[in-house]
Amino acid sequence: MNVDRAILVAFLGNYLINTVIAALVALVPASASGGMLTPQYITFVVLSAVLVGLLTWWYGARDLKSGAIFGATGFVVTIAAAFITGVAGVLAQTGSLSAVAGVLPNFWPFLANWSTLVLAGYWIIPAAALGWYMQPKGSSM
């Protein structure tokens, strides 16, 4: 397993999910009702899972273990990118390290949200499933 390649492909995937897929999902009509299960959110999760599957294939996961490791790597890269982006954004807006220190406790409730579980799901499940599908199968005779 090539960890460097996994991190780079996962970082590219995070970028594509947060920009391209988010832009495509914006074309889906917004739901009048609130809640988590809106057509836009479901479309976002499905398209993200498809993209993660394509990235897993491109990465070259050839068994369940390497697929699951790639998916977990993508999840960790996404969380790390969100943390760094949040800290850098606060620092750029305020220019104050004390303001950054005041915002850091807000990251833990962000992680304890249902969306983090969904994020883990659309990174790990398709990657592991594709890895399992790509592993060599024994002959049936």
Q: Where are the domains of the chain?
A: 3-22+37-134
Kindly give the residue spans of alpha helices, DSSP state H, lying in 38-137. 39-59, 64-94, 97-103, 107-111, 114-134
Nearest partner of 64 among 136, 138, 131, judged by Cα: 131
Tokens standing for residue 79: 């969380």
pTM of the entire structure? 0.88
CA 51 to chain CA mean position, Å: 10
Q: Could you tell me the pLDDT band of residue 32, with boundaries at 50, 70 and 90?
A: confident
Mean pLDDT of 82-109: 91
